[in-house]
Structure 1
C-alpha cells in the first residue's frame, strides 16, 4: 500500500514539475510570440513610413523636373525672342544704311553740286529731314529691343543683367556715333573735303565691333544658363 502511495505521490510530483515547466515554456513562447508580433508591427510601420517618404521624394522629384522643364522652355522662348528682335534690329540698321541712306546721300550731293543756292539749301533741308526719319525708324526698332530686355531682366541672372547693360551701352554709342557722322556729312566742311569723315567712320566701326562683342558674350552666357537648368 505504501508503495502505491509513493508511486502516486511520485507521479503527482512529476506531473506537477512537468506542468510547471510546461507553463513556463508556454509563457515564454507566448511572450516570444507577442514580441515577434510587436517587432512585425514596428517593421510594418517602418516599411509604411519608408514607402510614404519614398513616394513623397518621387513626387517632389517629378515636380522639380516639371518645374525645371517649364523654366527651361520659358527662358529658351524669351531668350530666342530677344535675339530674334536683336538680329532684326541689326539687320534693319544695315538695310537702312545700305538701301535707304545711299539714295538720300546721292540726292543730297547732287543738289549740293548745283550753282543755285536755293537748290543747295533745299537739298540740305531734305537731307536733314530724311536722316531724321531714318534715325527715328532706328529708334523705334531699338525700343522694341529695349522692351524685350525688360522681360529678360525679370528671369535673368545678375551676370546676364550686366551683359545686357554692356550691350545697351554699346548699341547707344554706335547709334550716337552714326548720327554724329550723318550730321557731319550735311555740313559745308564735308562737301569741301570728304576725307574729314574718316575719323567718324573709324569711330562708328569700333563701336560696331563692341556691339558684336557684347552680343556674342550675352548669347554665350544665356546658353550657359539654359544648360544649368
Structure 2
C-alpha cells in the first residue's frame, strides 16, 4: 500500500512468508490432534466418538475459514478497502467459538467417562 514499490513488495513477501509459517504450524497441530483422536477412538464410547467427530469437523471448518480470509486479504479489493474483511473476521470468530465449545463438550465427556472407571 506504500508509494514505494520495493517497500510494498517486501511487505507483501514478508506477510506471505509469515502466513505460510502459521499455516504450517496449524497443519502440524492438526496432525497431532488427529493422531491423538485416533488413539482415543480405540477405547471411546459412541458418545465420545461423536464428540471427537464434531471437534474435528469444527477444526476443519475453522481452518478453511481462516484460509478464505487470508486469501481475501491478498486481493486488490482488500487493499482498496480493508473494511471488506469484516465478514471474514466474523466467520473466523464464529468458527473459532465452535471449536472451543466442542472442545469443552469433549473434555466434559472425557471427565465423565473417566469418573465412571
Report if TM-score (shorter chain) is over 0.5: yes
Specify the structure having the higher radius of gyration (Cα). Answer: 1
Cα offsets for 1:162-219 (capped at 9, x unmatched):
1101000101111111122122222221121111010001101110111111111111
Alignment of 1:75-154 (within 5 A): 112-113=1-2, 115-154=3-42
Q: Which one of the candidate residues 75, 79, 82 is aligned to 1:187?
A: 75
Whichever structure has more helix as a proportion of its residues is: 1
The corresponding residue for 2:66 is: 178
Cα offsets for 1:35-78 (capped at 9, x unmatched):
xxxxxxxxxxxxxxxxxxxxxxxxxxxxxxxxxxxxxxxxxxxx
Cα offsets for 1:82-107 (capped at 9, x unmatched):
xxxxxxxxxxxxxxxxxxxxxxxxxx
Task: Give the total of aligned pairs.
Answer: 117
TM-score (norm 1): 0.48
The corresponding residue for 2:48 is: 160
The corresponding residue for 1:26 is: none
Structure 1 stretches of at least 4 aligned residues deviating more than 6 Å after TM superposition: none
Aligned equivalents of 1:194 and 1:116: distance in 2? Answer: 20
Aligned equivalents of 1:198 and 1:118: distance in 2? Answer: 28
RMSD across aligned positions (CA):
1.5
Cα offsets for 1:135-166 (capped at 9, x unmatched):
10121122112111111001111111111010
Say whether residues 1:228 and 2:112 are aligned partners: no
Bigger relative contact order, structure 1 or 2, given CA contacts below 8 A and separation 6+? 2
Gap runs ≥5 in structure 2: none
Gap runs ≥5 in structure 1: 1-111
